[in-house]
Structure 1
Amino acid sequence: MSWPRRLVVFSLLARYSSAQYVGYQAYDPTQLEVPPLPATAPPLAFEVALDYGGSPTAGPETPGSFLGVSIEMVLVEDIVGPSKDKVHPEFLNFMAGLKARGGSPVLRLGGNSQEKAELVASLDGVGTPDTIAFEGDGQSVKKLINPGFNTLTMVYTADIVDAMRAASDALDIHWYIGITMNQTMPPRLEFVELAQERLGDYLLSMQLGNEPDLYYMRYRPNDGSYTPQAYITEVQMMLDTMKADPKITRPNICGGPSLCDCNGDWKQHDIFHEIGYIDKFRDSLNTLFVMKYPSDNCPGEASYRPTAQDFLNLLTQHDSKYGAKVFGSRFSSQYQVAQEAGLPLVLLETNTASCNGFLGVSDSFGAGLWVVDTALQFASNGLQHMMLHLGGQTSYYNPFINAPANSSAPHKWTVNPLGYSMLFVAEALGPSNKARVADIGVNGGNAYTPGYTIYEDNKPVRVALINYMTDATGAHDYTASIKVDASVTEVYVRSYSAESTTSKAGSGLTWAGQTFGGYFETDGTLQGTQTTETVPCSGGTCAVKVKAPSAAIVFLSKTNMYDASTSPAQTFDGSATPTSSGSNPSGTTAGGGGGGGNGAASSLAVGVTSFIGSVVAAASIMF
């Protein structure tokens, strides 16, 4: 082991020496204290009135694929697969579950690692033992330690795009990709050329710059010379080169400006209004991209940064400074700009907190409820898509994650609460692409009991209800009396639940009675029998109980209600060819595992065995 590696190992072991768990952040079982109950309980029985008059307050039509995944580019082989002949079945199975509920999935490939990604004809001879972050990784990607940067350098072959195409052909997955902009003279457009050739119409848009307001920290002189106007000049240079490139047949599917929105010298308003970003580049744009997290857990001290416990306490309140209502209304002015320009507005990267999230928070059930709340809030405010970032083994906030590359058995994947939230949102919005969402301010707008109505063709079709409180006694369960049309005689309820807002994978976590199990226990398919509660209605009122904590979808009819027993999702094994037309609603597990345990023992074993061999990544990646 070289000295730089020893140093990283020692520093990380020291970091965790006082804790029982030693391993990757992605599987840390640490749970925080349960957020306190409100000093005065909110009303626990209240009415929910539905608008049958055209829903003027609801947002625009929203696709069922609204909530997608932003995959850090350096992880593409780990998550999607190394080639068209070997696409990870766990990835495909999870995507198939999304498609069955909400239609064709939408993903983003990009992030900090897009900027220095390098396409090569072959990986032979790439890297040395002292620079390769993972021993033995990579049929189509090598991850290299990058002196002076916190992000690994990605060297890749064209096989990764073939894997993306195979996944798209199998499940109609569509992609946002990032354009490399660490240099612009001349621009590096090899990934754009490759993606346009091989992804075809599955390519939705190409991101022109990833957080350019932070380029002064990485790729440009840190002397104040890299201004918004300098960025605009570079964008023009990139677009001119793309238009002149015969291999780029669609130079007009670009998007931006993708600001971090964390540099006070750069403001979204100035980019759009003072500099005229849209007017200058309108012929080349098909999407406006924004990026934002409600907080961060980046290195260094910051007076504004909450403790993990305070963050969880506030995240699980709808109207707090980190809650869905405040965060979900952040881009209201940008939505107006996008609407006037006739362009969709996409939140290309978000999650609970940047720089990998918070210990005990970002992979908790409370964060899962926050994602449901935030996604529906953003949908009600006009966004086209919201993409949850997946940062890899050293991140707390992954919706799902592959097993470490060099771990001993078991090799199965993990789905965290945020992954369940994706299924919830897909099912709440449905596959019609006509869903319109309204925050209906139920229970007097109480912070612990938010609710939404989903409309199709101006008629209410579903209601989403959330209970952020944790109380195992049932004393803080609430009953929502939903006022429906007199013709409605019963409604159908599916619940997303866990033991506590602090619960993690395997801790009683279920969506409609089904589970992905604990750490290292899933092949990407839900296990168990899908359960739906039928609630009778009387006199135009349906009384729906929502447990503390949980979220529920109330279906006002069975139209567009996903049924795993009659329309199961496709399943896959070692290729992008489905092995069956559906999932396994009976609950037997394909390939072992899936017991629904807490996963702590297996996570510790795999964490330790993989920790030393792959520890450089744990110290090197900050997304």
Structure 2
Amino acid sequence: MTLHSRQAYLRLLVAATVTLAFAFANAQTVTTFAVPTSVLTSTAISVDPSLLSISIEFFAFPGYTELSGTTMCLANIQTLRGAAPAVRIGGTTQDRASYDASLSAAVNYTIAVPGDAPESLTYGPSFFSLANELPGDVTIGLNRQLNNISNTQDAAEQAVKGVRGLLALELGNEPEFYAAGSPIIPPGEGWSPTTDAASQKGWFSSISSSVGNIFQAAVYLQYPTWSTTGLIPLLGDAITFVKTFSGHSYPQSACGGAATNLETLMSHSGIVSYTKQYSTEANSAHARGKRYFLGETNSATCGGGGISPTFGAGLWVMDYVLQGALAGVDRLYFHQGTIGNCAYCFWGEDSVLAPYYGAFFVSDFLGSSPKTRLTMIDSGDSSIGAYAVFSGSSGPPARVLLYNSEYFSGLGIRSVVNITLTDLGSDLEIVSVKRMTAPNATSLAGAGVTIGGGGTFSDECAATGTQALEVISASGGMAEVSLHASEAVIVYLSI
């Protein structure tokens, strides 16, 4: 089909497009964004093909390999991005685990109540065999808290031997929370950033002799006391043993009955402000030639609480990934916790949760080019987020993502913003739009959360339904897109 005939055909589609039924506010807000005409005229950054990655709680990892959703959910992202999501295997239970080279099972533990995490566990060589089957980079967390360096070294050597995709090894998880009774803490002494840095340095130096310079350092949750910026000078020459640095981050907490707030979580200006904290850490790592990851992150600690399985949390995932990248984070690993007891998980035993829709949508926006570049085109101080993505180091943008983070609870009239995109090129006659929406921000998967009007996911994470495109006229280098509160769209600038 020629360009002329294709444009004529698409103009017919414009006339045939049926507007979806929404409740409009009496007064509509109008916003304008100028789209960069070229990657050379923007502040676009390069994006890692595995920017959105996955963290899996250590003891639960073998169980995740038995879920069909694990394979399909990861494969969907790989198809959209052209590279498999990296997987980090770790968390609280890595510091409760001991390696047993004679154990035939991948893991062995007991729990008093289903849905609990074990207080202690053992794992064997087949644990690493399962990790070897993952399609992308693999990071494995090993125990430091029990202060059994010989056991951890045995496990590290088996990981290097048995996992072909091994990227890095973590030694300990969030050590700033080691309790006074932890075996690694000498009696009567406290645990500080300085003592932990000395511990990491000593363990890296000792174990590297048999596994190489393959460690992921820091793995702290608290900023800035336990920060990468403080650790780097304390490591000294031992930084040569470090391959990557990692921080952990949860914007909210659901621990101990703490209150969570969905409206605050999904706020675009709030996300912009929150992610700025990563820049110093990322810049410090990059200055030493190391990549900086959020090796464990999600919406709220202790499994997520009431806000985490909602559509609003899916919108947060989408915006958070992009802002993390703009702050210098090379990869964000979204944690998947105890199977069957995990509000923030992307998938479970027999369901796909709403946060996965955001993961899928942002992956669709970023695209499969290995040279993807991203820029932000809004000011960052309002409820509206706007981004442009380029498929290479030159040429015009391929797509724009628009996000209206205004919270809609489902009560009253749902407001709408009419967004005008300018500088699209005078020859552009149409743009196509894919919309991610739900009845309201608190909607759960299976209750009207859709991509493209009818796209959803089966219990096994297979894409079902039709992800249709809306077709919108463009004229004079401008196009107007309507965006309701608590929803997002991808605007495709080429057909």
Give the structure-1-normalised TM-score.
Answer: 0.68
Distance (Å, rounded) in 1 between the aligned partners of 2:294 and 2:120: 25
TM superposition shift of 1:434: 2.0
Distance (Å, rounded) in 2 between the aligned partners of 1:176 and 1:356: 21
What SS class does the counterpart of residue 163 from structure 2 fall into?
helix
Change (3 A) 1:451 1:244: same
Q: Is 1:333 equivalent to 2:280 in the alignment?
A: yes
Q: Return the letter of the residue paired with 1:318.
A: H
Q: Is 1:315 equivalent to 2:265 in the alignment?
A: yes
Q: Return the letter of the residue paired with 1:510.
A: T
Q: Return the letter of the residue paired with 1:153.
A: S
CA offsets, 1:278-297, max 9 Å, x none?
x4323112211111111212
Q: Is 1:281 equivalent to 2:238 in the alignment?
A: yes
Compare 281-290 and 451-460 and name the one that shifted more: 451-460
TM superposition shift of 1:225: 2.9
Change (3 A) 1:55 1:208: farther
Structure 1 contact 327–374 (Cα < 8 Å) conserved? no
Q: Return the letter of the residue paired with 1:313.
A: E
Structure 1 contact 209–257 (Cα < 8 Å) conserved? no
Change (3 A) 1:334 1:238: same
Q: Is 1:174 equivalent to 2:114 in the alignment?
A: no
Q: 1:213 aligns with which of 176, 180, 188?
A: 176
Structure 1 contact 344–384 (Cα < 8 Å) conserved? yes
TM alignment of 1:232-247, pairs within 5 A: 232-245=197-210
TM superposition shift of 1:435: 2.1
What SS class does the counterpart of residue 400 from structure 1 fall into?
coil
TM superposition shift of 1:121: 4.7
Distance (Å, rounded) in 2 between the aligned partners of 1:347 and 1:265: 17
Change (3 A) 1:218 1:280: farther
CA offsets, 1:535-562, max 9 Å, x none?
231111122222333111112124xxxx
Number of the residue aligned with 1:140: 106
TM alignment of 1:253-264, pairs within 5 A: 253-261=214-222
Q: Return the letter of the residue paired with 1:164.
A: A
Number of the residue aligned with 2:487: 550
Structure 1 contact 205–286 (Cα < 8 Å) conserved? yes
Change (3 A) 1:66 1:491: same
Number of the residue aligned with 2:92: 112
CA offsets, 1:504-556, max 9 Å, x none?
12111112345445xxx511201112212232311111222223331111121
Structure 1 contact 461–557 (Cα < 8 Å) conserved? yes
Higher strand share: 2
Distance (Å, rounded) in 2 between the aligned partners of 1:212 and 1:108: 17
Distance (Å, rounded) in 2 between the aligned partners of 1:195 and 1:237: 20
Number of the residue aligned with 2:52: 67
Number of the residue aligned with 2:309: 363
Give the structure-2-normalised TM-score.
Answer: 0.85
Unmatched 5+ stretches in structure 2: 1-24
Q: Return the letter of the residue paired with 1:312.
A: L
Q: 2:69 aligns with which of 84, 87, 90?
A: 90
TM superposition shift of 1:388: 0.9
Q: Return the letter of the residue paired with 1:529.
A: T
Q: 1:384 aligns with which of 330, 336, 348?
A: 330
Distance (Å, rounded) in 1 between the aligned partners of 2:118 and 2:383: 38
Q: Percent identity?
A: 24
Distance (Å, rounded) in 1 between the aligned partners of 2:449 and 2:403: 15
Q: Is 1:199 equivalent to 2:199 in the alignment?
A: no
Compare 422-431 and 505-514 and name the one that shifted more: 505-514
Unmatched 5+ stretches in structure 1: 1-39, 82-87, 125-138, 403-412, 559-623
Distance (Å, rounded) in 2 between the aligned partners of 1:373 and 1:156: 37
Distance (Å, rounded) in 2 between the aligned partners of 1:192 and 1:42: 61
Change (3 A) 1:434 1:182: same
How many pairs were matched up? 460
Q: Return the letter of the residue paired with 1:193.
A: E
Change (3 A) 1:234 1:537: same
Number of the residue aligned with 1:372: 318
Distance (Å, rounded) in 1 between the aligned partners of 2:40 and 2:139: 31
Structure 1 contact 489–537 (Cα < 8 Å) conserved? yes
Number of the residue aligned with 2:430: 490
Change (3 A) 1:339 1:236: closer
What SS class does the counterpart of residue 466 from structure 2 fall into?
coil
Q: 2:416 aligns with which of 477, 486, 490?
A: 477
Q: Return the letter of the residue paired with 2:175.
A: P
Q: 2:465 aligns with which of 516, 528, 541?
A: 528
Structure 2 contact 140–169 (Cα < 8 Å) conserved? yes
Distance (Å, rounded) in 2 between the aligned partners of 1:114 and 1:293: 19
